[in-house]
């Protein structure tokens, strides 16, 4: 085996073999394994954590549910099942609906030109009344914002 001399700045000689270094460098392998171990330690608690959700069963339905329709037109008038309502009468209807044991649904639709302030007032009324079965219908009209 021939060795060559490598001269450093201090003029000292270091013997270097002419053959390639054949030992395995395991430092990168250890780094990768440590990263995998940390990732495993982080993801295991997330996998074991579960949230229970009560899903409705199909057998409990006795038929088609009662649906009440609330529409807000561009003038700000609330229309309950095709009957225009003022705020007091609407609040009374919403309260009666919330107390109904049959749990009727409320389908709420808004004209695209209606003021957001009035929409917000009606949503607050629905929430105060305690109506739980609410669906927002007719949202397809808001799909294109650039169309007048």
Whether 70 contacts 80, CB under 8 Å: yes
Residues 86 and 132 in one domain: yes
Domain that holds residue 44: 3-48
Is residue 79 classed exposed, middle or buried when 0-12, 13-18 and 19+ CB atoms within 10 A define those classes?
Answer: middle
Angle, helices 87-99/116-129, rounded to nearest 10 degrees: 40
Residues 79 and 136 in one domain: yes
- Is 53 contained in some domain? no
- Is 54 contained in some domain? no
Residues 42 and 86 in one domain: no
Instruction: Give dist(CA 93, CA 91) in Å, integer.
Output: 5
Q: How many domains does the chain have?
A: 2
Residues 41 and 71 in one domain: no
Residue 47 pLDDT: 60
Task: Using alpha carbons, list the distances in angstroms from residue 123 to 79, 96, 134.
Answer: 14, 16, 10
Q: What percent of the chain has pLDDT over 90?
A: 40
- Residue-wise pLDDT tens digits, 1-49: 555 555 555 555 566 667 776 777 888 889 999 999 998 888 877 666 5
CATH of the domain at 108: 3.30.420
């Amino acid at each position: 085996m021939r060795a060559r001399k490598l001269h450093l700045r201090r003029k000292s000689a270091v013997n270097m073999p002419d053959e390639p270094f054949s030992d395995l460098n395991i430092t990168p392998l250890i780094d990768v394994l440590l990263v995998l171990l940390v990732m495993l330690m982080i993801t295991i608690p997330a996998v074991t954590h579960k949230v229970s959700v009560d899903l409705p069963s199909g057998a409990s339905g006795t038929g088609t549910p009662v649906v009440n329709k609330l529409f807000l037109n561009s003038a700000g008038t609330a229309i309950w099942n095709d009957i225009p309502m003022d705020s007091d009468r609407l609040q009374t209807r919403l309260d009666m609906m919330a107390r109904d044991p049959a749990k009727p649904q409320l389908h709420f639709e808004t004209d695209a030109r209606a003021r957001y302030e009035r929409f917000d007032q009606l949503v607050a009324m629905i929430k105060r009344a305690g109506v739980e079965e609410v669906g927002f219908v007719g949202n397809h009209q808001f799909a294109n914002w650039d169309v007048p």
